[in-house]
Amino acid sequence: AQSVTQLGSHVSVSEGALVLLRCNYSSSVPPYLFWYVQYPNQGLQLLLKYTSAATLVKGINGFEAEFKKSETSFHLTKPSAHMSDAAEYFCAVRRSGAGSYQLTFGKGTKLSVIP
Amino acid sequence: ETGVTQTPRHLVMGMTNKKSLKCEQHLGHNAMYWYKQSAKKPLELMFVYSLEERVENNSVPSRFSPECPNSSHLFLHLHTLQPEDSALYLCASSQDPAGLSSYNEQFFGPGTRLTVL
């Protein structure tokens, strides 16, 4: 079975500062990894995904994430935070293989951006 | 309409009521999902439908009854709910019905905020 741990339920950064949101996973087989963002009163939107093609994955809105197998991590970063980045971010894992519909989500990290 | 839509956006119901949540996807996808999002808990997958056939049911109480009449529509019928069922219910869809593709990303609707009194 796979699981996801997001360190820090709430992260605050100043506008223009580096954003780092941490995600560690456990999976018995090579996983597919995802980051989603949820703005208030909205559903989840896919930011980026790792599917083994490249360890550094670029997503939308200037976000990127690096898959590190040795550390079982998939941390999300953005060089310079913008006020519009304030939202909740979810890391998710899905096992590879047939019939693997289930996404296992972390508990989420709420990002606040201070002007 | 584009993407995944859900109605109603907000619903308040008593424990003896019967109501239904509706989801429609306009993406031509073949799989649809119901998730429950409660405060301070991870998103929980409730049901998965692939090509209109239920393929996963994650130990959900029988007071929740899904229905998928075609690949574009998904319903969640609710009856005799409990206050702890109050949550945001999210619908999602994805392209690959067999769950094989690495690009089988899920697209989410805005959710229905349910309050059970």
Give A27-60 pLDDT, tens digit per residue. 766 688 999 999 988 899 999 998 777 889 999 9
Q: Hey, are the CB atoms on A99 and B107 less than 8 Å from each other? A: no
Strand partners, A89: A37, A109
Predicted pLDDT of residue B40: 74
Q: Which of B40, B43, B51 to mutate to test the interface with A (most CBs of A within 10 A)?
A: B43
Q: Which residue in A36, A44, A101 is closest to B56 by CB distance? A: A101
* Helix, strand or coil, per DSSP, at residue A80: coil
* Neighbouring-strand partners of residue B66: B76
pLDDT digits (tens, 9 = 90+) for B2-53: 899 999 999 999 888 899 999 999 999 989 999 999 987 888 999 999 888 8
Inter-residue contact A49 to A57 (CB < 8 Å): yes
φ, ψ dihedrals at B94, nearest 5°: -145, 165
The verdict on a CB contact (< 8 Å) between B109 and A43 is yes
Question: What is the C-alpha to C-alpha distance for residues A47 and A110, in angstroms, rounded to an integer?
Answer: 15
**CB within 8 Å of chain B, chain A residues 8-67:** 32, 34, 36, 41-46, 49, 51-52
The answer to whether the CB atoms of B111 and A104 lie below 8 A apart is no
The larger pLDDT score, comparing residue B5 to residue A101, is at B5
Cβ <8 Å between A32 and B50: no
Mean pLDDT over residues B90-107, rounded?
78
Q: Rounded to 5 degrees, what are φ and ψ at A26? A: -135, 135
Using 50, 70 and 90 to split pLDDT, how confident is the model at A61?
A: very high
Which of A2, A24, A10 has the alpha carbon at shortest distance from A89? Answer: A10
- Whether residues B98 and A45 touch (CB distance < 8 A) is answered with no
User: Do B89 and A83 meet the contact criterion of CB atoms below 8 Å apart?
Assistant: no
What Cα–Cα distance (Å) separates residue B58 from each residue in A29, A107, B45? 21, 18, 7
**pLDDT at residue B97 is higher than 80:** no
Place of tokens 């999902």: B33
Nearest CA in chain A to B47: A102
